[in-house]
Chains A and B, each alone.
Chain A
């Protein structure tokens, strides 16, 4: 067992949920490598185990078999250097949006002072378009707004590793594209390693350095694509011939994962 040189690494991770009907295999020898400060997007059919993957990387769960590495250390329990935005963005109803965003600061030891953290929270809320909502309660926000608030909560403590589980799922196309650009800005300001789960292929190509397509359940990494676009992108880049070709490849791979098409490259190999 050699230590991982990557920021995040999964080695042959196999996991099954125990259910009443018996074990439900979800991941089958899944391997992913994410270098420091790079951005990895994971796409795959619904129910293939993407959220399970985020729970394994964040240490909320341990895999049945295989290894999860973070920072060159085996993941055995959650750690405060990770920021996580859940697929179901729960906010604490008894706190204001600002207090919700600041929640991690009450747990994590951080060099930021309280005033600095508050200022940062306001800055982040501005970035995601929630200016003026700091003192509102979660019940006064729409689903998409809650999702954005939960995004702010996941990065307030400047984590080295950011795990986002479909963070833009409940957003309209325009807000979503705005936030994509915001993500690029954020990365330029403060580098972090990101694992993004999404089902939007354009999102994956626009944001990521690497896109992993997961197969159907039990899932392994069916296809890995290096995204060969400039580091800081504009939305127009999505219409470049290179991007269009990548999107077509990904779409094809998803169909293979869903079992709708056979993978002709695999057939060629066989």
Chain B
């Protein structure tokens, strides 16, 4: 089979198979709505609330991407500082680990109180806080483990530290960076939704989920989950696409 065809058809087949199984099991066990909605229950919800789904998805999406963008900027900066200075690395590492260990579900209500009413700011902040850690760590590890042989190629020509960073260290860390970004993308998404669900009169798909819960519209809640999954897949593959462009060299031909 053609390679690209398989890459599209294979996941499609699996999705259809899983949906069919799900539909079947709900029907076979005669599960009521509130225990398990079936895929066929979701379609009417999408049709009825399509405009809401579009608006809320957009809200969730842009705030996730904004938080992720901040995480990339600050994560890379912190990673650079830690990668180049051993002093900073040893000093910052335990703090970062401790910060990362705090369950973000506990931070969400605090942030929601601190910046009450500022939904966008809140949400972006949580998305950022939850996702910058893997980026900072991967960049710092990538930079601090750069083999001296690589550095010496340029150093022997009298190149400046900045040139060495720009031409060698940065491109060399890109594969690690993208590996971390894939993790961060999912994390940022979780952060956004945590905030959206918890803060009252929030925005985004999390708010739609919450209104489903309040009005006991269980299929709507499931429908939101699917919309979230779809957004997550889109974001993830955008990162994969960027990785191909900027770090495609790290992918070896298998044969």
Contacts and interface: CB of A to CB of B under 8 A. Distances in A.
Of the listed residues A58, A104, A107, the one surrounded by the most CB atoms of chain B closer than 10 A to its CB is A107
A137 B149 contact: no
A103 interface: yes
Interface in A134-167: 137, 139, 153, 157
A188 interface: no
B171 A94 contact: yes
A82 B156 CA distance: 8
Nearest to B246: A94
B158 interface: yes
A234 interface: no
Given A92-B171, A137-B249, A139-B252, A60 B156 contact: yes
Given A78-B157, A107-B159, A90 B249 contact: no
B90 interface: no
B150 interface: yes
B155 A78 contact: yes
A106 B155 contact: no
A245 interface: no
Query: Which among B147, B159, B171, B174 has the highest number of chain A CB atoms within 10 Å?
Result: B159
Interface in B196-255: 247, 249-250, 252
Contacts of B247: 94
B167 A58 contact: no
A261 interface: no
A108 B157 CA distance: 7
Contacts of B174: 94
A231 B163 CA distance: 40
Interface in A71-101: 77-80, 82, 84, 86, 88, 90, 92-94
A2 to B, nearest CB: 26
B150 A90 contact: yes
Contact of B156 (A78, A93, A106, A137): A78
A92 B249 CA distance: 10
A182 B150 CA distance: 27
Contact of A86 (B149, B163, B167, B252): B149
A60 B171 contact: no
B153 A94 contact: no
B250 A58 contact: no
Question: Interface size class for chain A?
Answer: 20 to 34
Contacts of B167: 92, 103, 106
Given A92-B168, A93-B250, A77 B158 contact: yes
Contacts of B147: 90
B154 interface: yes
Contacts of B252: 139
B158 A88 contact: no
Contacts of B33: none
A84 B147 CA distance: 17
Contacts of B152: 60, 86
Interface in B137-164: 147, 149-150, 152-159, 163
A77 B160 CA distance: 12
Interface in A91-133: 92-94, 103-104, 106-108
A57 B38 CA distance: 74
B155 A60 contact: yes
Nearest to B168: A92
Contacts of B250: 93-94
Contacts of B249: 93-94, 137, 139
Nearest to B171: A94
Given A93-B249, A94-B249, A107 B150 contact: no
Interface of B: 147, 149-150, 152-159, 163, 167-168, 171-172, 174, 247, 249-250, 252
| A-B pairs with lowest CB-CB distance, top 10 | A94-B249, A84-B156, A107-B157, A78-B158, A90-B149, A107-B159, A80-B158, A94-B171, A58-B156, A78-B156
13 contacts: A59-B156, A60-B156, A79-B158, A86-B152, A90-B149, A92-B150, A92-B153, A93-B249, A94-B171, A94-B172, A94-B250, A107-B163, A108-B157
Given A79-B158, A103-B154, A157-B157, 7 more contacts: A78-B158, A80-B158, A86-B149, A92-B171, A94-B174, A94-B247, A108-B157
